[in-house]
Structure formats: structure tokens, C-alpha cells
């Protein structure tokens, strides 16, 4: 899609847009009807997956209360980045339980683990054999995954939008990220209950919001964006810019958190179709190499990735439109970057890699790992070698 001046849009000559076969249920108290919703999917023996903190929260208790009458087992303590060993544990638990579905409660790590386990159960073999591979600068290899997958049900409490997407990532023991993509992995049922999710710390919630915002910005200048994904991106950007500062100001506002969760849902639909670019490629690698949480990595890297891509004329035009949606007085790439920097300060998220405890010596390794990330395939500015990524990382340092 070529955009020549702010406000102008030209349709691409051809495109395809995927709508996931999922149902969104939103509202305070929505979890009370969870068993009824699951019965419509034929899910009677689910595995419930959550991280340690989430498993001790109200949203998890409400989830289990909503499962009365069903036979479920719990897989709690899922760490960030969904380690391969934990996905294996989940797969074997599902096999032993004769599970007919997965319920992911919490953030992206729970969702990614459920997707990976569902794929691994169905396809067999080694999980790495089913991952997509990117060879710079423009070769993307995606294995054909035909086996039927158990349905994933998502109850998100953060703003990653992972519940909507058709894929996820798993961290290997040697510090790589396996990227798994299959349309069947998109959550069949998504339940957003803002009141039940109030115990998520504001700092975690807001950092994950930078992830959702990044989905929208990257999706808006992605080389495979569609008119539908672009419309969703602009609306979600407006909602994030309103909701995130409101949550920072009043963390107990159910209304503000609910708006942010819906914005994240829209951002997930953007990601499903337009995918992610160099920003997420870097964030994945920071998580794999240095263990930096995905929300923190997104909080730091977004304005730097935007500046990197602003050198591309098409991306610059897209960023000018993003600036308008963000409420910038200057409808330009610089205006969009300044608004993101304003948001960083308004919601008090991290802004420098050096403040995470990461060693500067790891930046070169991160840059090398970025070159294997499929986000570069759709990035508007071509990247052919790790040396092009290092200045981006140094700027964020």
C-alpha cells in the first residue's frame, strides 16, 4: 500500500486478509459463563495454564470457578518466554489427562505455551522441526502443518494480544526463539473480564501495553499490511493513547483497563495479518539472549525501531498517519516518535537497555540472532546483516 502524503491511502493491487474463527466475550463477570462457552466448543477436559503470579490471582480463581462441572487439570508456574522444557511438561500433562483443549490465563507466555503444546501434540516429532525459518534477506520457510489441533481458549490479563494471533514463540535452552505459526492455533474463545484482571500490577500491565501499541505501529507500515489491518491499527492506537495514561493515573479504573484490553485485542488482529517487523525481531532476541521480559523490551525499543524504519519513504508516510492517530501536533515520523516518547514518560515504563541489568557485551549476540527472525521479512527497510542492527541496539542502550 503506497501512501504518498499524510492522510492519503492507495489500495494495493491485491491482498488477502484472515479473520480467525474465534469468539470474543467481554464484560465484568464474563468468566461466570465459561463452562457454557466451553461446552459450545465441545471442550470438557481442559488443561488450565498460568504463570506463578497469575495462578495466585482473582482472575485465576474466577476461571476455575467458571469450570464447575468439567474435568480439568492445572499447569501453573509457566515462566516468561515459554521455555521448551515447560512446553514439554504441558504436552505430557495434556496427553496423560486426555485433554480436549487448553485454557491460557494471563499473558503471552501462557498463550504461547498452549499453542506450542497443541501443535506438538498434533504434529509429533521435534518442535523445532515445525518452526518457521528466516534466511536473510528475503527467504522465509514455513512448514506445512495440516494435523488438527486442540482448541485454545484465552483469558488475557495483559496487553500482548497473543490470544488473537495464529502463532507464538518458545525459548530453547541455547537461547533461541522457535517461532510457530498455524492458523489453527488462534484462540477459538477469548474471554475478557476486566474486573477479574485488576490484580495485575500496573507496571506489568502498562509495559505490556507498549507491546500492543508496537503491534499497531509495525502492522501499519508492514510490507504485508491490508486495508483492514490498517484500519484496526489506527483505532487501536487511539485507544491505547487514551487508555494507558488513564491506567497510569488511576490503576484501579476498571473502565480504563477494559479499554486497554480491547485495544490489545484489536492489536492482535493487526498482528495476525500484518505481522511484526524489526521491533519485535529485536525484542524476541533480547528475551532469548538476555532474558529481558517482552513488555520491558517493547517499552524500550519502540521509538528506536520507528526511527530506524523512518528512513524508508513508505514507512515514513505511514508513521505520519500514526502521528495523527497518536494526537501529535506534527503529522510526521518525528511527531509519532515524540508521542511514543511522551507516552513512555507518562506511564513510567523503562526507556534504556542499560537499566535492565543486561550486559552491553551481549548486544552483538542479540544483533546476530535478530538476523534469523522472520520479522525482517516484512520490515519496510531491508536488513541484510547484523552490523545494520547494532546501531539500533546501541541507541537503545
Same domain, 214 and 190: no
Same domain, 264 and 298: yes
* The domain boundary residue, chosen from 196, 231, 260: 196
* The domain boundary residue, chosen from 196, 213, 228: 196
Same domain, 205 and 308: yes
Same domain, 69 and 216: no
Q: What CATH number does residue 178 fall under?
A: 3.40.50.1970
Same domain, 28 and 95: yes
Q: What CATH number does residue 268 fall under?
A: 1.20.1090.10
Structural domains of the chain, count: 2
* Whole-number Cα distances in Å, 6 to 79, 313, 317: 43, 12, 6
| Residue 9 falls inside a structural domain | no
Alpha-helix runs per DSSP H in 2-139: 34-41, 52-55, 58-65, 84-97, 108-123
Burial class (CB within 10 angstroms; exposed 0-12, middle 13-18, buried 19+) of 44 = middle
* Whole-number Cα distances in Å, 246 to 21, 31, 252: 32, 25, 10
Same domain, 214 and 191: no
The x, y and z cell numbers of residue 19, run together, are: 479473520
Same domain, 218 and 153: no
| Residue 18 falls inside a structural domain | no
* The domain boundary residue, chosen from 196, 227, 260: 196
pTM of the model: 0.90
CA distance 296 to 352: 10
| Residue 131 falls inside a structural domain | yes
Same domain, 166 and 260: no
Same domain, 223 and 153: no
| Residue 6 falls inside a structural domain | no
Strands 46-50 and 73-76, by their bridges, are parallel
Which of 114, 135, 136, 226 has the alpha carbon at shortest distance from 180? 114
Helix (H) or strand (E) holding 212: helix 202-221
Per-residue pLDDT tens listing for the chain (397 residues)? 444 444 566 677 888 887 778 899 999 999 999 999 999 999 999 999 999 999 999 999 999 999 999 999 999 999 999 999 999 999 999 999 999 999 999 998 999 999 999 999 999 999 999 999 988 888 888 898 989 999 999 999 999 898 888 888 999 998 888 989 999 999 999 999 999 889 999 999 999 999 999 999 999 999 999 999 999 999 999 999 999 999 999 999 999 999 999 999 999 999 999 999 999 999 999 999 999 999 999 999 999 999 999 999 999 999 999 999 999 999 999 999 999 999 999 999 999 999 999 999 999 999 999 999 999 999 999 999 999 999 999 999 9
Same domain, 224 and 190: no
Same domain, 217 and 111: no
| Residue 119 falls inside a structural domain | yes
Q: Are 25 and 33 in contact (CB under 8 A)?
A: yes
Which of 91, 105, 93 has the alpha carbon at shortest distance from 170? 91
| Residue 292 falls inside a structural domain | yes
Same domain, 279 and 389: yes
Per the structure, the complete domain to which residue 84 belongs is given by: 23-196
Q: Which residues sit opposite 250 in a β-bridge?
A: none
For helices 313-325 and 294-309, give the axis angle rounded to 10 degrees. 120
| DSSP string for 57-78 | SHHHHHHHHTTTTS--EEEE-P
Amino acid at each position: 500500500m503506497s501512501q504518498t502524503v499524510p492522510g492519503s491511502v492507495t489500495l494495493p493491487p491485491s491482498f488477502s486478509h484472515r479473520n480467525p474463527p474465534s469468539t470474543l466475550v467481554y464484560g465484568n463477570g464474563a468468566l461466570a459463563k465459561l463452562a457454557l462457552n466451553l461446552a459450545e466448543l465441545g471442550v470438557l477436559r481442559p488443561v488450565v495454564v498460568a504463570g506463578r503470579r497469575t495462578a495466585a490471582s482473582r482472575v485465576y480463581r474466577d476461571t476455575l470457578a467458571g469450570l464447575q462441572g468439567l474435568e480439568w487439570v492445572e499447569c501453573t508456574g509457566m515462566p516468561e518466554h515459554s521455555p521448551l522444557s515447560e512446553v514439554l511438561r504441558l504436552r505430557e500433562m495434556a496427553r496423560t489427562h486426555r485433554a480436549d483443549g487448553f485454557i491460557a490465563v494471563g499473558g503471552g507466555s501462557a498463550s504461547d505455551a498452549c499453542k506450542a503444546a497443541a501443535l506438538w501434540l498434533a504434529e509429533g516429532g521435534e518442535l523445532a522441526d515445525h518452526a518457521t525459518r528466516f534466511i536473510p534477506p528475503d527467504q522465509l520457510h514455513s512448514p506445512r502443518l495440516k494435523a488438527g489441533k486442540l482448541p485454545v481458549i484465552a483469558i488475557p490479563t495483559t496487553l500482548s494480544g497473543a490470544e488473537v494471533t495464529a502463532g507464538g514463540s518458545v525459548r530453547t535452552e541455547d537461547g533461541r526463539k522457535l517461532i510457530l505459526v498455524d492458523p489453527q492455533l488462534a484462540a477459538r474463545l477469548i474471554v475478557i473480564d476486566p474486573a477479574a484482571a485488576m490484580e495485575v500490577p500496573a507496571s506489568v500491565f502498562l509495559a505490556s501495553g507498549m507491546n500492543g501499541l508496537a503491534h499497531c505501529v509495525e502492522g501499519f507500515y508492514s510490507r504485508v499490511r491490508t486495508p483492514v489491518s490498517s484500519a484496526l491499527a489506527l483505532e487501536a492506537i487511539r485507544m491505547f493513547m487514551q487508555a494507558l495514561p488513564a491506567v497510569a493515573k488511576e490503576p484501579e479504573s476498571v473502565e480504563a483497563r477494559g479499554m486497554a484490553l480491547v485495544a490489545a485485542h484489536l492489536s492482535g488482529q493487526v498482528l495476525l495479518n500484518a505481522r511484526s517487523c524489526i521491533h519485535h525481531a529485536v525484542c524476541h532476541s533480547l528475551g532469548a539472549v538476555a532474558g529481558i521480559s517482552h513488555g520491558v523490551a517493547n517499552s524500550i525499543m519502540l521509538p528506536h525501531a520507528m526511527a530506524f524504519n523512518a528512513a524508508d519513504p513508505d514507512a515514513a508516510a505511514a508513521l505520519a498517519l500514526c502521528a495523527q492517530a497518536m494526537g501529535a501536533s506534527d503529522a510526521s515520523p518525528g511527531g509519532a516518535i515524540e508521542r511514543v516518547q511522551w507516552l513512555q514518560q507518562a506511564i513510567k515504563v523503562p526507556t534504556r537497555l542499560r537499566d535492565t541489568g543486561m550486559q552491553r557485551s551481549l548486544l552483538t549476540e542479540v544483533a546476530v540472532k535478530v538476523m534469523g527472525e522472520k520479522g525482517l521479512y516484512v520490515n519496510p527497510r531491508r536488513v541484510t546483516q547484523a552490523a545494520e542492527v547494532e546501531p539500533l541496539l546501541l541507541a537503545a542502550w
